[in-house]
Amino acid sequence: MRRAVTATAAAAAAFVIAGCSSSAAGKNAPDGAGQQPNTPASAAPFARTYQEAVNDQKWRRVCQMRTERYRHGTVKACVDDSTETTPSAAPSPSESTDPPLRRADGSIIPPRPTPSASGLDRAKTGSVKVGGLVSVPAIGEHPAGTGVQVEYTVTWPKSTTTTKKALRLVKRGSEWLVDQSEDIYASDEAHNNPVHDALMRE
Protein backbone atom coordinates (compact mmCIF):
# COMPACT_ATOMS: atom_id res chain seq x y z
CA MET A 1 0.00 0.00 0.00
CA ARG A 2 2.84 2.38 0.91
CA ARG A 3 4.46 1.73 -2.51
CA ALA A 4 1.20 2.64 -4.34
CA VAL A 5 0.82 5.88 -2.37
CA THR A 6 4.44 6.83 -3.08
CA ALA A 7 4.00 6.24 -6.83
CA THR A 8 0.82 8.35 -6.89
CA ALA A 9 2.53 11.21 -5.06
CA ALA A 10 5.46 11.13 -7.47
CA ALA A 11 3.15 11.29 -10.48
CA ALA A 12 1.27 14.25 -9.01
CA ALA A 13 4.52 16.10 -8.35
CA ALA A 14 5.66 15.53 -11.92
CA PHE A 15 2.34 16.89 -13.22
CA VAL A 16 2.68 20.06 -11.11
CA ILE A 17 6.25 20.63 -12.32
CA ALA A 18 5.22 20.20 -15.96
CA GLY A 19 2.35 22.63 -15.49
CA CYS A 20 4.65 25.25 -13.97
CA SER A 21 7.12 24.87 -16.83
CA SER A 22 4.39 25.34 -19.45
CA SER A 23 3.08 28.40 -17.62
CA ALA A 24 6.53 29.94 -17.44
CA ALA A 25 7.13 29.30 -21.13
CA GLY A 26 3.83 31.01 -21.98
CA LYS A 27 4.82 34.10 -20.00
CA ASN A 28 8.15 34.32 -21.80
CA ALA A 29 6.62 33.91 -25.31
CA PRO A 30 6.72 37.04 -27.51
CA ASP A 31 3.50 38.97 -28.17
CA GLY A 32 1.49 37.50 -31.03
CA ALA A 33 3.42 34.23 -31.01
CA GLY A 34 0.19 32.23 -30.96
CA GLN A 35 -1.54 34.33 -33.61
CA GLN A 36 -1.93 32.96 -37.12
CA PRO A 37 -0.91 35.32 -39.95
CA ASN A 38 -4.28 34.92 -41.67
CA THR A 39 -6.46 35.84 -38.68
CA PRO A 40 -8.59 39.02 -38.92
CA ALA A 41 -6.29 40.80 -36.43
CA SER A 42 -3.48 40.73 -38.99
CA ALA A 43 -5.59 43.01 -41.18
CA ALA A 44 -5.06 46.01 -38.88
CA PRO A 45 -1.44 46.87 -39.79
CA PHE A 46 -2.24 46.33 -43.47
CA ALA A 47 -5.16 48.75 -43.26
CA ARG A 48 -2.95 51.37 -41.59
CA THR A 49 -0.25 51.03 -44.25
CA TYR A 50 -2.84 51.33 -47.01
CA GLN A 51 -4.47 54.48 -45.63
CA GLU A 52 -1.07 56.08 -45.00
CA ALA A 53 -0.20 55.47 -48.65
CA VAL A 54 -3.51 57.05 -49.72
CA ASN A 55 -2.92 60.10 -47.52
CA ASP A 56 0.61 60.46 -48.91
CA GLN A 57 -0.70 60.01 -52.48
CA LYS A 58 1.64 57.10 -53.16
CA TRP A 59 -0.64 55.81 -55.86
CA ARG A 60 1.46 52.93 -57.13
CA ARG A 61 1.61 51.46 -53.64
CA VAL A 62 -2.10 52.13 -53.16
CA CYS A 63 -3.07 50.42 -56.41
CA GLN A 64 -0.89 47.41 -55.64
CA MET A 65 -2.79 46.97 -52.38
CA ARG A 66 -6.22 46.92 -54.08
CA THR A 67 -8.11 44.08 -55.70
CA GLU A 68 -8.29 44.10 -59.48
CA ARG A 69 -12.01 44.84 -59.23
CA TYR A 70 -11.44 47.87 -57.00
CA ARG A 71 -8.63 49.34 -59.10
CA HIS A 72 -10.66 48.75 -62.31
CA GLY A 73 -7.91 46.99 -64.23
CA THR A 74 -4.13 47.09 -64.17
CA VAL A 75 -1.96 48.81 -61.59
CA LYS A 76 -0.68 51.24 -64.25
CA ALA A 77 -4.21 52.24 -65.28
CA CYS A 78 -5.14 52.71 -61.63
CA VAL A 79 -2.09 54.93 -61.03
CA ASP A 80 -2.83 57.03 -64.12
CA ASP A 81 -6.47 57.44 -63.14
CA SER A 82 -5.63 58.35 -59.54
CA THR A 83 -3.01 60.89 -60.62
CA GLU A 84 -5.40 62.58 -63.03
CA THR A 85 -8.21 62.85 -60.49
CA THR A 86 -6.12 64.03 -57.54
CA PRO A 87 -7.27 67.60 -56.75
CA SER A 88 -4.53 70.23 -56.83
CA ALA A 89 -6.06 72.16 -53.95
CA ALA A 90 -7.29 71.26 -50.49
CA PRO A 91 -11.00 70.61 -50.03
CA SER A 92 -13.25 73.51 -49.14
CA PRO A 93 -16.23 73.38 -46.77
CA SER A 94 -18.62 73.79 -49.71
CA GLU A 95 -20.89 70.83 -50.36
CA SER A 96 -21.52 69.02 -53.61
CA THR A 97 -24.63 69.96 -55.60
CA ASP A 98 -25.34 66.32 -56.52
CA PRO A 99 -28.57 64.84 -55.11
CA PRO A 100 -27.94 63.44 -51.61
CA LEU A 101 -27.59 59.70 -51.13
CA ARG A 102 -30.22 58.06 -48.98
CA ARG A 103 -30.26 54.93 -46.89
CA ALA A 104 -33.02 52.32 -46.97
CA ASP A 105 -34.58 53.99 -43.89
CA GLY A 106 -34.71 57.35 -45.69
CA SER A 107 -31.88 59.04 -43.77
CA ILE A 108 -29.58 61.26 -45.84
CA ILE A 109 -25.88 60.50 -46.22
CA PRO A 110 -24.01 63.84 -45.95
CA PRO A 111 -22.32 64.86 -49.24
CA ARG A 112 -18.57 65.01 -49.54
CA PRO A 113 -16.81 68.40 -49.91
CA THR A 114 -15.74 69.52 -53.37
CA PRO A 115 -12.21 70.75 -54.26
CA SER A 116 -11.49 74.45 -53.97
CA ALA A 117 -9.66 76.41 -56.64
CA SER A 118 -7.44 78.25 -54.16
CA GLY A 119 -5.21 77.57 -51.21
CA LEU A 120 -2.39 75.17 -50.43
CA ASP A 121 -1.88 72.10 -52.60
CA ARG A 122 -2.66 69.66 -49.83
CA ALA A 123 -4.20 69.54 -46.39
CA LYS A 124 -2.14 68.11 -43.55
CA THR A 125 -3.15 64.66 -42.31
CA GLY A 126 -2.35 63.18 -38.93
CA SER A 127 -1.30 59.67 -37.97
CA VAL A 128 -3.65 56.83 -38.89
CA LYS A 129 -5.41 54.87 -36.15
CA VAL A 130 -7.09 51.52 -36.80
CA GLY A 131 -9.75 49.53 -34.97
CA GLY A 132 -13.25 48.12 -35.17
CA LEU A 133 -12.37 44.88 -36.97
CA VAL A 134 -15.55 43.01 -37.96
CA SER A 135 -16.51 40.28 -40.39
CA VAL A 136 -18.60 41.63 -43.26
CA PRO A 137 -20.71 39.52 -45.64
CA ALA A 138 -20.63 39.78 -49.41
CA ILE A 139 -22.79 42.45 -51.04
CA GLY A 140 -23.14 43.18 -54.74
CA GLU A 141 -19.73 42.73 -56.36
CA HIS A 142 -17.91 42.89 -53.03
CA PRO A 143 -16.84 39.52 -51.57
CA ALA A 144 -17.10 38.69 -47.89
CA GLY A 145 -14.13 39.92 -45.90
CA THR A 146 -12.92 41.81 -42.84
CA GLY A 147 -13.98 45.38 -42.16
CA VAL A 148 -11.49 47.75 -40.52
CA GLN A 149 -11.99 51.33 -39.36
CA VAL A 150 -9.22 53.82 -40.11
CA GLU A 151 -9.21 57.27 -38.52
CA TYR A 152 -7.00 60.32 -38.97
CA THR A 153 -7.12 64.09 -38.61
CA VAL A 154 -7.17 66.59 -41.46
CA THR A 155 -5.95 70.15 -40.87
CA TRP A 156 -7.02 72.85 -43.36
CA PRO A 157 -6.07 75.62 -43.30
CA LYS A 158 -5.88 75.93 -39.50
CA SER A 159 -8.96 74.04 -38.33
CA THR A 160 -8.70 70.31 -37.70
CA THR A 161 -11.37 67.70 -38.38
CA THR A 162 -11.40 63.92 -37.97
CA THR A 163 -11.99 61.60 -40.92
CA LYS A 164 -13.19 58.04 -40.43
CA LYS A 165 -13.33 55.40 -43.15
CA ALA A 166 -14.28 51.74 -43.36
CA LEU A 167 -12.10 49.43 -45.45
CA ARG A 168 -13.20 46.02 -46.73
CA LEU A 169 -10.17 43.70 -46.76
CA VAL A 170 -10.18 40.32 -48.48
CA LYS A 171 -7.60 37.55 -48.63
CA ARG A 172 -5.90 36.70 -51.91
CA GLY A 173 -3.58 33.81 -51.19
CA SER A 174 -1.49 34.80 -48.19
CA GLU A 175 -1.96 38.57 -48.45
CA TRP A 176 -4.66 41.11 -47.76
CA LEU A 177 -6.08 43.41 -50.44
CA VAL A 178 -8.50 46.32 -50.17
CA ASP A 179 -11.76 45.85 -52.08
CA GLN A 180 -13.82 48.77 -50.78
CA SER A 181 -13.43 52.08 -48.96
CA GLU A 182 -16.35 54.08 -47.56
CA ASP A 183 -16.68 57.18 -45.42
CA ILE A 184 -18.13 56.61 -41.95
CA TYR A 185 -20.84 59.14 -41.12
CA ALA A 186 -22.50 60.07 -37.83
CA SER A 187 -25.57 58.09 -38.88
CA ASP A 188 -23.37 54.98 -39.17
CA GLU A 189 -21.99 55.49 -35.67
CA ALA A 190 -25.50 55.95 -34.27
CA HIS A 191 -26.24 52.31 -35.09
CA ASN A 192 -23.28 51.04 -33.00
CA ASN A 193 -21.76 49.10 -35.91
CA PRO A 194 -20.32 51.83 -38.15
CA VAL A 195 -17.84 49.69 -40.11
CA HIS A 196 -20.47 47.11 -41.03
CA ASP A 197 -23.10 49.73 -41.92
CA ALA A 198 -20.73 51.78 -44.08
CA LEU A 199 -19.53 48.74 -46.05
CA MET A 200 -23.03 47.37 -46.60
CA ARG A 201 -24.37 50.38 -48.51
CA GLU A 202 -25.76 49.59 -51.95
pLDDT tens-digit map of 133-189: 999 999 999 999 999 999 999 999 889 999 999 999 999 998 999 999 999 999 999
What whole-number percentage of the chain has pLDDT above 90? 54
pTM: 0.65
Whole-number average pLDDT of the chain: 77
Residue 192 near residue 70, CB atoms below 8 Å: no
pLDDT band at 88 (very low <50, low <70, confident <90, very high): very low
Domain ranges across the chain: 39-88+105-110+121-202
Return the pLDDT at 31.
31
In this predicted structure, the answer to whether residue 16 has a pLDDT above a threshold of 70 is no
In this predicted structure, the answer to whether residue 113 has a pLDDT above a threshold of 60 is no
For the segment(s) 39-88+105-110+121-202, the CATH number from 1.10.3470, 3.30.450, 2.60.120, 3.10.450 is 3.10.450
Return the pLDDT at 41.
76
Q: Looking at residues 28-57, what average pLDDT do you find?
A: 71
In this predicted structure, the answer to whether residue 19 has a pLDDT above a threshold of 60 is no
CB atoms within 10 A of CB 179: 21
